[in-house]
Amino acid sequence: MKANSQLNVVCVIVVLTGILTASHAQAPDSVVIRVGKESRVIFSIKDKRDLETLKHYDFQALMDDMVQKLEKRDTTALTKSSRDYLKDSTASSGAMKPSENWDWKRDQDDNENNNERRGRKWSRRTHHSFNIDVGMNNYLQNGSFPDASNQLYTVKPWGSWYVGLNSVLRTRVAGKFFVEWGAGVSWYNFKFDNARVFLSKDNTGVIFSEDPRNADFTKSKLTATFVNVSMVPVLDFGSHQSRSSFWDDDHSNSFRIGLGPYAGYRIDSYTKQVYIENGSKHKPHERDNYYLNNLRYGLRLQLGFRDTDIFFNYDMNELFTEGKGPKLQAFSFGITL
């Protein structure tokens, strides 16, 4: 096609658009524009309201892109979003919504909406996702690990797993600035370095001691379950409304960083021992509060690139109620799936 032919096509389309706007059609209408001897451009109008959208399209840019693909014999969808062809600020700002019946290219938000493995779109600015935090947890005592003083509550770094299941809403505030807010449930698993550690309590506080039984102990741990809420401001330098995920097919070359508060409420806690005695394996659970704080609050740091995100949570309050246990501040870190 020549440039003049393209311009003629655009003129015809604009004229026909004005005529069609004044008409009322019960069934889908179509307009066939002949180009040269053998070629045609067909517009299918299924919704009368879409005619208003057509008035705001830059058909010259659209035709240029289409011609380039035809010259290369490329029959794939156009690479631009339908919003990219809107030529005035009123339409591009969102006051005028593009047609959802666009035949050549789905809107970028619709592509993200169709990715069921990642999440779904709640609105033009907010997307929902289900995230899984998997990592390790430990705690500090006066800024140091209890390992240095060989305390009985010293934990094994490998085996003290942290798991979080989170329902997250991601809202665009402006440009590259987002807020990720939501709720979830998490598990602290403090696996003690000494497998004989036994937890009990009295009126004065929690007691860490060694189990005196003549058995082969393989595990001893303290587990605490919390329901949490969080609000993390995020700077995302990528091009997608939703965060790139391990489960996505299309990965964005984006860097993300976020820092914000969280708070949680304890809903369960228990100790578990695993040992073999007289040839039999035992796994007793003892549910108790063990003077654990009912509330936790702290800061969450998130860093991400492409489909990989890491997190670091630091509890600013102590794990145990003041005066009832060692002064420990828990933290966790790992990856977000």
pLDDT digits (tens, 9 = 90+) for 315-337: 999 999 999 999 999 999 999 99
Domain boundaries along the sequence of the chain: 3-100, 127-336
Predicted confidence band at 63 (pLDDT cuts at 50, 70, 90)? confident
Question: Going by DSSP bridges, is the β-strand pair 285-287/295-305 parallel, antiparallel, or unpaired?
Answer: unpaired
Annotate the chain with three-state secondary structure.
CCHHHHHHHHHHHHHHHHHHHCCCCCCCEEEEEEECCCEEEEEEECCCCHHHHHCCECHHHHHHHHHHHHHCCCCCCCCCCHHHHECCHHHHCCCCCCCCCCCCCCCHHHHHHHCCCCEEECCCCEEEEEEEEEEEEEEEECCECHHHHCCCCCECCCCCEEEEEEEEEEEEEECCEEEEEEEEEEEEEEEECCCCEEEEEECCEEEEEECCCCCEEEEEEEEEEEEEEEEEEEEECCCCCCCCCCCCCCCCCCEEEEEEEEEEEEEEEEEEEEEEECCEEECCEEECCCCECCEEEEEEEEEEECCEEEEEEEECCCCECCCCCCCCEEEEEEEEC
pLDDT digits (tens, 9 = 90+) for 111-150: 444 444 444 555 678 999 999 999 999 999 999 999 999 9
Q: Of 57, 56, 58, 75, which is closest to residue 66 (Cα–Cα)?
A: 75
Interior/surface letters 82-103, b for 16+ CB within 10 angstroms, e for the rest? bbbbbeeeebeeeeebbbeebe
Q: Token digits for 97? A: 């919504």
The pTM is what? 0.64
Question: For 52, phi and psi rounded to 5 degrees?
Answer: -65, -35
pLDDT digits (tens, 9 = 90+) for 213-250: 999 999 999 999 999 999 999 999 886 666 555 555 54
End-to-end CA distance of the chain: 48
Taking residues 27-47, report their average pLDDT: 70
Q: Is the pLDDT of residue 3 over 50?
A: no
The least confident of 3-12, 24-33, 226-235, 303-312 is 3-12
Query: Are the beta carbons of 160 and 191 closer than 8 angstroms?
Result: yes
CA distance 127 to 307: 17
